[in-house]
Structure 1
Amino acid sequence: MTGGSEPAVVEVQSTPEVSEQETFEQWEAAVAQAYVPLVVTPVRTGEFKARIVQSRFDDMDVSTLTASGQHITRIPRLIHEPDEPILFATVTTHGHGWLEQDGRVGVMADLGLMLYVSSRPFTAHFEQAWGVVAVQVPLAQVVGASGVASDQLPTAVRFPPEGAAGIVGRFFCGLAQLQQTSPDQAAVLARHGTGLLASVVQLAAGDTPHDEPGQALTKQAALAYIQRHFADPGLTVDHVANACAVSRRTLYRLFENGEDGVAAMLRRTRIERALALIRTDPTRPLLSISRAAGFVSERQFYRAFKREMGMTPGEFRTVHV
């Protein structure tokens, strides 16, 4: 599945007609398909249920996983699958558990973020029902972007929801939700996911990036603020800068082309909203669409739309709807 598509959903549940053993075999196969091959065992008898909602982008998967209690092991004989090592980042949305890798044990709870890799054994355990947002990216990409060797990654270390890692964790949680309502917008934001994980790795390893410290995180905070408030026609660059606790000049440096880069991002976000409204409601007046997308006037909407799309909103509706 590529970014912009509907998420894939897998659900399993024990019933009087399906035994616990059969259910768990189905679940283990679903986990292997969505993530990597693992040995999964229940922690108690009784009803079992689990669900995965997974979105696949160009170089990253983001999923929400909820399940009954279980014990998970990545054993040595499975390490060669898949061929390309994967970095996992999980944010625990509910429940309480632990993960062990590389001789460290980290607690998985309370919106904490944790990193671990598929190329080395690990074990995770949840006694009761639990849920996570799980991110998977090729390990080589994060190593290349961060400059931190794979054996130096801070695996099985809980990053609390406060601080830089917490911002990144909330970004991925929001991305998983956005994919279900606005997959095209989610695909745009997902392009920044690998860079954000690389920034977490750098900060955790005590390796300050060569660019301005925290630059990727601040840029993502600006993007997230624009995403939340683009429908407000009064939104300005100053509002975005103040929300991110940076100056206008610093904000401009985070985007290519200075001031125009920030304005272009806001304009494109509003146009993407307008495109979605045109497609889903072909009879809605364009003035109503322009207001819902955050444009001050219909004239401003027409100019911005033609600049981005090469045609007017009316022409787009005629051709594509």
Structure 2
Amino acid sequence: MAQTDSEHVGTGGLAPQVIESWERRIGVESGNSRAQERVRLSGPDGMQQYWQHVRVSVDDPDGFDSIVYVRQLSLIDTFCAIRTPLRVERDDPLITKEPSDDLIVTVSTLPGRAVVKQGTRDYVYRPGQLVIVSNTAPYVETTHSVSDPSGLVIPRKLLGGESGAGEGVRRPVAGLTSLARATAAFIRQFTSDTAVGHASEPKQETELAAIELVRAALGQLNDDNRPLVNNELFIRQAAADLIERHHRDPQFSPESICRALHISRRQLYRHFESTGESLAALIAESRLRTAHALLLTRADMPVVSVAMASGFPSVATMRNRFHARYNKSPNELRMSSPFRDRSVEEACD
């Protein structure tokens, strides 16, 4: 069940449990975070300092609260933020006073919606959808609940043919395409790794690949469905997304990924050569994780049902995978589960 605004916002701003959950989600508790880079901006002063190129307004200035992790890379900036409801505005006077050609690309995960007004049109963005605005044009973004945007700040000159994007009214990028999912998933992970984590600065090639993903998303807005078969980052992320969503189907295979992405096996495999991982192994690993979770939490499911629900073609295949990975059978793993229902007897293995 989604939390209400009152559950998200404490009497002094963001509720502690919401902050804890968010920081755990972006990797702050991993022991490998840049905690010293954490910036908390609260109250009227925090509103003034929130972002140089925008104006922030809220119904209750004293209740405004935000936490931001940000990092400047060689080409772009990355950030992870959480904030109470607010209105972010960039108008013509501010554009003149604080010129900026940056494109801001964000994605949020918390329940709720953001409304972006450009010109006379309002566009509604929901969790998982890409929000793309340009600092070269007026816009107003309004959120009515706590939001957790993670994003990239990209100089417009790096976008090449899409450098004019964001200046006009733009509909939300469709959330159900491989491109949109891959871009959103990449932004969440990339910002967590760079803005929050202690990861070394990525190579410029990685930043350029990220920019190309954004360019392709902008092209999608313009109905320019150019192929991304040469973008290694996109292919890997899109393949990972397809595996996550379809590995429970025993018919799902690397050929299924090729068909979904409209590329050949040779093209697909080429993008995974440097990883040292095979696509078949990645699919098997996802099935193994699903089976592992079901065995530990669903004592009522027979092992054969676990195998089917996880995408394994047979119990024997799953058993062999378990022995190779855990050096024990599925039943032996289940017997060690703290969630084990001792009243359930299972005859398998």
Kindly report which structure 2 residues correspond to 1:120-135, keeping only aligned pairs within 5 A, or say none. Answer: 120-135=137-152
CA distance in 2, matches of 1:152, 1:182: 32
Letter in 1 for 2:38: V
* Structure 1 residue 217: Cα displacement: 5.9
Contact 1:161 1:167 in 2 (8 A): no
TM-score by length of structure 1 reads: 0.60
Letter in 2 for 1:214: L
2:202 is the alignment partner of 1:173:
no
CA distance in 2, matches of 1:104, 1:249: 45
TM-score by length of structure 2 reads: 0.56
2:130 is the alignment partner of 1:113:
yes
Corresponding residue to 1:71 among 71, 74, 87: 87
2:179 is the alignment partner of 1:162:
no
* Structure 1 residue 87: Cα displacement: 0.9
2:56 is the alignment partner of 1:44:
no
Partner of 1:222: 236
Contact 2:118 2:140 in 1 (8 A): yes
* Structure 1 residue 224: Cα displacement: 7.5
Letter in 1 for 2:189: G
Runs (5+) with no aligned partner, structure 2? 1-32, 244-252, 278-349
Partner of 2:209: 192
SS in 2 for 1:79: helix
Partner of 1:30: 50
Residues 206 and 242 (structure 1), Cα distance of their counterparts in 2 relative to 1, 3 Å cut:
same
SS in 2 for 1:87: strand
CA distance in 1, matches of 2:276, 2:206: 13
* Structure 1 residue 153: Cα displacement: 5.9
Contact 1:71 1:124 in 2 (8 A): yes
> Which protein is bigger by CA-based radius of gyration?
2
SS in 2 for 1:131: coil
Kindly report which structure 2 residues correspond to 1:84-123, keeping only aligned pairs within 5 A, or say none. Answer: 84-94=100-110, 95-123=112-140
Relative to its length, the structure with more strand (as a share) is 1
Residues 96 and 215 (structure 1), Cα distance of their counterparts in 2 relative to 1, 3 Å cut:
same
How many correspondences in the alignment?
A: 229
CA distance in 2, matches of 1:193, 1:75: 28
Contact 1:69 1:127 in 2 (8 A): yes
Residues 25 and 45 (structure 1), Cα distance of their counterparts in 2 relative to 1, 3 Å cut:
closer
CA distance in 2, matches of 1:120, 1:72: 13
Letter in 2 for 1:26: G
Letter in 2 for 1:10: V
CA offset digits 1:233-288 (Å, max 9, x no partner): xxxxxx87765654331225xxxxxx5x7433549xxxxxxxxxxxxxxxxxxxxx
Contact 2:134 2:166 in 1 (8 A): no
Partner of 1:56: 72
- Structure 1 stretch 121-130 or stretch 95-104: which is displaced more? 95-104
Runs (5+) with no aligned partner, structure 1? 14-22, 230-238, 253-258, 268-321
CA offset digits 1:13-72 (Å, max 9, x no partner): 3xxxxxxxxx2223321322xxxx222111236533211111222111121121111122
CA distance in 1, matches of 2:230, 2:214: 10
Contact 2:229 2:267 in 1 (8 A): no
CA offset digits 1:70-129 (Å, max 9, x no partner): 122112122146544011111122232211124332113221112111011111112222
Kindly report which structure 2 residues correspond to 1:225-264, keeping only aligned pairs within 5 A, or say none. Answer: 245=260, 246-251=263-268, 259=270, 262-264=272-274
| RMSD of aligned alpha carbons | 3.4
